[in-house]
Structure 1
Amino acid sequence: MKQLAMEVKDHLEHKILPFWMNLKDEQNGGFYGEVDYSLQIEKEADKGGIATARFLWTFSSAYRVTNNEKYFEYADHLYAFLRDKLYDRTHKGIYWLVDFRGEPKDTRKHVYAQSFAIYALSEYYRVSQSQEALDLAMEIYHLIEEKGYDKENQAYMEEFDRAWHPVDNEMLSENGVIAEITMNTHIHVLEAYTNLYKASPNQDLKQRLHDLLQVHYKKIYDEQTKFLGVFFDKEWRSLVDMKSFGHDIEASWLMDETVKTINVDDPNYDKMILDIAYNIADYAMREDGSLINEQVNGEYDYTRIWWVQAEAMVGFLNAYQHTDDLKFEQLIIKLWDYIKQNIVDNRENGEWYWSIEANGKPTERSVGEPWKTSYHNSRFCLEFIERVLV
């Protein structure tokens, strides 16, 4: 495993991060908003709030783990853009989208996006000790709790207009439903609050994390099937028969990170975390070493999406470290081989393809855009470095 982790570290430092560093917009701030499938940088593409937060998290974390000063310079650059252009000083919170100059374009507020701002700002604080950044993270945390949390049904709400009036959840719904509650938002609120607790532990935040773990265990996780529900109405009733394999394996290690961070001793959580990992390993991994995307109403989607493979690497490493089960070690080795041979874009100046179609060909989709950034695959690499090499 150590040799694999060293290979992953080299891949991060010489393949992934240089690709994104090439997108630094010196004139308008932040990173350029799109790299199309032909690897052409679209310098006037819109810049996403989620994307900017994910970039900020990546370079802050890369500096924290590697101590390479050049990554901190990029983190500084991204922090300034998030603070000055993406944060709404009138109504608070970060915008969904700004144009290439940093002017507001899509001013809706989404709890999912706010969570990534917290995740990024808390990570930036961990390396910079910037009180301003921590204050902004705490402000968004209190905003989510005030505007975005429904105490009656213990659920985080989804989408709002600029002034924080609830609207239909267009951005995180699919399959013909408008979901009032999503698993996706909840796992990323958990992720964000956990990192905020690492940056600035306090009792209120610790209690929210305990509550969130309970919600995941009691309302999102199905103990019978070992899958997580995806879309719910406001009463936590499932809206579609859907299994999202990448989100499940991602959630397993994110929940474990929370358990470790706030030092929870609960065998129910421990069992859930490992049951999810075993379930995905047995149900959705393919002979070629890859993890397929999802299953909806019994129909499989065999697309191999970049972030799904990255999260599986971490999820299986986490399970292996808990169990020493060689099954997980073999899954990691095969999956890394699949990633190198298929997902990694070996064209000059390439990074990772968005996905590989069921026929084995890369999806001709932009390789950098508001939903595809440095976060998932950089994090997989950083987790391997921290867990195996450090």
Structure 2
Amino acid sequence: MKKLTDEIQQHLEQKILPFWMKLKDEQHGGFYGEVDYNLEIEKQADKGGIATARFLWTFSAAFRVTRNEEYLEHAHHLYDFLRNKLYDHENQGIYWLVDFQGQPKDTRKHVYAQSFAVYALSEYYRVTKSEEALALANEIYLLIEEKGYDKENRAYCEEFDQWWKPVSNEMLSENGVVAEITMNTHIHVLEAYTNLYKANPTDGLKQRLIDLLEVHYEKIYNKDTKFLGVFFDKQWNSLVDMKSFGHDIEASWLMDETIKVIGLKDERFDQMVLDIAYNIAGCAMQEDGSLINEQVDDHYDKTRIWWVQAEAMVGYLNAFEHTQDPRFKQLIENLWIYIKKHIVDKRENGEWYWSIEPAGNPTERAIGETWKTSYHNSRFCLEFIERVKNQ
């Protein structure tokens, strides 16, 4: 595993991070909002709240793990843009979208976006000890709890307007349903709160994390099928028969990270983490080493999406650490071969394709945009470096 991790670190430092560093916007702040399929930078593309937070997390974490000062400089640059342009100082919270100059464009507030701001700001604090950044992370955390949490249903709400009035969840719904509760938001609130706990552990935050794990176990996880539900109504009834393989394997290791960080001893949660990993390994991995996207009713979407492969790498590494089952080691090795052969964009100055179509050709979609940033594949690399190299 050490040799594979050396290769992964080289890939991070020579391929992934240099691609994104070229997007630094010295004039207007933040990173340019789009790199099209032909690798042309669209300097007047809009800049997303989630994207900026993910970039900030990436370069903060990359500095923490590698100590490369160049990454820290980019983190400072991104922090300034998030704080000064994406944060609504009057009404609180992170905007969904600003234009290329940093002017508010889509002022909706989504709990999902707020959680990524908490995730990024807490990581930035971990490497800078900036009390301003920690204060902002805590402010958004308390805002989510005040505005975005439904205590009666033990559920995080989804979408609000600029003034925190609830609106229909257009941004995180799909498949013909508008969901009042999503698994996606809940796993990323968990992820964000866990990182905030690493930065600033408090008893109140620990209790929220325990409650969130309980909600995942009781409301989202199906103990019979070993899958997570995806879209729910306000009463936690599932709205569509959907299995999101990438989200499941991602959730397995994110939940385990929370368990480890807060030092929780609960066999139910430990078993859930491993059952999910074994389930996805058994039902959605392909002979070519890849992980397909999802299943809706009886239809399988066999697109190989970039982030799904990255999260599977970490999910199986996490499962291997717990079980030492050689099956997981083999899955990792096969996945990495697939990623290198198909997902990595071998064009000069390329990064990773958005996805590979079932027929085997790359999807002609932007290489960088509001939903495709440095976060998933950089994090997979950093997790391997920390777990394998730095042990």
TM range (shorter): over 0.9
Tell me which amino acid in the other structure corresponds to 1:2: K
Q: For residue 62 of structure 1, what is the aligned residue in structure 2?
A: 62
Q: Distance in 1 between matches of 2:93 and 2:21?
A: 26
Q: Distance in 2 between matches of 1:182 and 1:154?
A: 13
Could you give the per-residue CA deviations for residues 297-328 of structure 1, whole angstroms, max 9, x where no partner exists?
11000000000000000000000000000000
Q: For residue 172 of structure 1, what is the aligned residue in structure 2?
A: 172
Q: Distance in 2 between matches of 1:300 and 1:358?
A: 11
Counterparts of residues 112-127 of structure 1 (less than 5 Å): 112-127=112-127
Could you give the per-residue CA deviations for residues 324-362 of structure 1, whole angstroms, max 9, x where no partner exists?
000000000000000000000000000000000000000
Q: For residue 316 of structure 2, what is the aligned residue in structure 1?
A: 316
Tell me which amino acid in the other structure corresponds to 1:195: N
**Secondary structure of 1:95 counterpart:** coil
Counterparts of residues 57-96 of structure 1 (less than 5 Å): 57-96=57-96
Counterparts of residues 4-83 of structure 1 (less than 5 Å): 4-83=4-83
Q: TM-score, normalization: structure 2?
A: 1.00
**Secondary structure of 1:105 counterpart:** strand
Do residues 107 (structure 1) and 104 (structure 2) align? Answer: no
Q: Distance in 2 between matches of 1:197 and 1:62?
A: 19
Q: Distance in 2 between matches of 1:92 and 1:67?
A: 33
Q: Distance in 1 between matches of 2:253 and 2:297?
A: 26
Counterparts of residues 163-202 of structure 1 (less than 5 Å): 163-202=163-202
Q: CA deviation at 1:224?
A: 0.3
**Secondary structure of 2:328 counterpart:** helix
Q: For residue 366 of structure 1, what is the aligned residue in structure 2?
A: 366
Q: For residue 354 of structure 1, what is the aligned residue in structure 2?
A: 354
Q: Distance in 2 between matches of 1:115 and 1:346?
A: 33
Q: Distance in 1 between matches of 2:219 and 2:279?
A: 18
Do residues 254 (structure 1) and 254 (structure 2) align? Answer: yes
**Secondary structure of 1:365 counterpart:** coil
Q: For residue 142 of structure 2, what is the aligned residue in structure 1?
A: 142
Could you give the per-residue CA deviations for residues 7-48 of structure 1, whole angstroms, max 9, x where no partner exists?
000000000000000000000000000000000000000000
Tell me which amino acid in the other structure corresponds to 1:191: E
Q: Distance in 2 between matches of 1:382 and 1:9?
A: 8
Q: CA deviation at 1:98?
A: 0.2
**Secondary structure of 2:105 counterpart:** strand
**Secondary structure of 1:291 counterpart:** coil
Tell me which amino acid in the other structure corresponds to 1:381: C
Q: Identify unmatched segments of 5+ residues in structure 2.
A: none
Identity over aligned pairs, percent = 77
Q: CA deviation at 1:156?
A: 0.1
Counterparts of residues 180-259 of structure 1 (less than 5 Å): 180-259=180-259
Q: Distance in 2 between matches of 1:33 and 1:180?
A: 29
Q: Distance in 2 between matches of 1:329 and 1:89?
A: 47
Could you give the per-residue CA deviations for residues 177-215 of structure 1, whole angstroms, max 9, x where no partner exists?
000000000000000000000000000000000000000
Q: Distance in 1 between matches of 2:102 and 2:387?
A: 37
**Secondary structure of 2:175 counterpart:** coil
Tell me which amino acid in the other structure corresponds to 2:127: V
Could you give the per-residue CA deviations for residues 233-276 of structure 1, whole angstroms, max 9, x where no partner exists?
00000000000000000000000000000001001101000000
Tell me which amino acid in the other structure corresponds to 2:203: Q
Q: Distance in 2 between matches of 1:13 and 1:279?
A: 33
Tell me which amino acid in the other structure corresponds to 1:294: E
Superposed CA RMSD in Å reads 0.2
Q: Distance in 2 between matches of 1:107 and 1:298?
A: 38
Tell me which amino acid in the other structure corresponds to 1:60: S
Q: For residue 305 of structure 2, what is the aligned residue in structure 1?
A: 305
Q: For residue 378 of structure 2, what is the aligned residue in structure 1?
A: 378
Q: CA deviation at 1:150?
A: 0.1
Q: CA deviation at 1:172?
A: 0.2
Do residues 132 (structure 1) and 132 (structure 2) align? Answer: yes
After TM superposition, the runs of 4+ consecutive aligned structure 1 residues lying more than 6 A away are none
Q: Distance in 1 between matches of 2:373 and 2:217?
A: 30
**Secondary structure of 1:295 counterpart:** strand
Q: Distance in 2 between matches of 1:113 and 1:39?
A: 26
Q: Distance in 1 between matches of 2:110 and 2:274?
A: 31
Q: Distance in 1 between matches of 2:175 and 2:78?
A: 34
**Secondary structure of 1:258 counterpart:** helix
Q: CA deviation at 1:115?
A: 0.2
Tell me which amino acid in the other structure corresponds to 1:192: A
Q: Distance in 2 between matches of 1:5 and 1:314?
A: 12
**Secondary structure of 2:5 counterpart:** helix
Q: Identify unmatched segments of 5+ residues in structure 1.
A: none
Q: Distance in 2 between matches of 1:177 and 1:363?
A: 25
Q: For residue 290 of structure 2, what is the aligned residue in structure 1?
A: 290
Counterparts of residues 150-161 of structure 1 (less than 5 Å): 150-161=150-161
